[in-house]
Amino acid sequence: MDYSMKPIGTIHSPFQDKKSTPIQPSRSQAIGQVEVFPEYVEGLQDLDGFSNIILLYVFHCSEGYSLRVKPFLDDQLHGLFATRYPCRPNPIGLSVVRLVSMNGNVLEIEGVDVLDGTPLLDIKPYVPEFDFKDGARTGWLQKGE
């Protein structure tokens, strides 16, 4: 069974093409705006109590996928699901960003790492108790340390 997902907004960023887009939000201090479509604005109540939010969005410029990829941070092939590579069977992206301010249906965010015009699927509050794991091993990403 397939599931149909419909954007609830648009992420605006300074990045117009893939080459200039940072690899991950931790490597970006870029400011962007999340424009939530007006019909969903009521759902934003109390979100500004959270310093960080999780954005789920569509990697809308990715097409097709390979199950083994060379990620941006390595020159070896790895299984796609062991990477954050954007071309995936379900091209859903995830970024944890800082919520700078909220004004009506527009969120100002810091640490944006997506292309301008990215379709937004969901916003969730970032909660360390749920989302933080201490002492995590990070496989091939640790090699260079």
Query: Of these, 31, 35, 50, 105, which contacts a copy of itself (CB under 8 A)?
Result: 50
Give the residue carrying structure tokens 């940072």. Answer: 22
In eight-state DSSP terms, residue 107 is E
Interface with a copy of itself, residue 33, by CB under 8 A: no
CB atoms within 10 A of CB 81: 10
Site for a copy of itself in 56-115 (CB under 8 A): 56, 58, 67-68, 77-84, 88-90, 92, 94, 96, 98
Which are the contacts of 53, defined by CB distance < 8 A and separation ≥ 6?
A: 47, 96, 97, 99, 107, 109, 123, 124, 125, 126
Interface with a copy of itself, residue 26, by CB under 8 A: yes
Which residues of this chain interact with a copy of itself, rule CB under 8 A? 1-8, 24-26, 36, 40, 42-52, 54, 56, 58, 67-68, 77-84, 88-90, 92, 94, 96, 98, 119, 121-133, 135-142
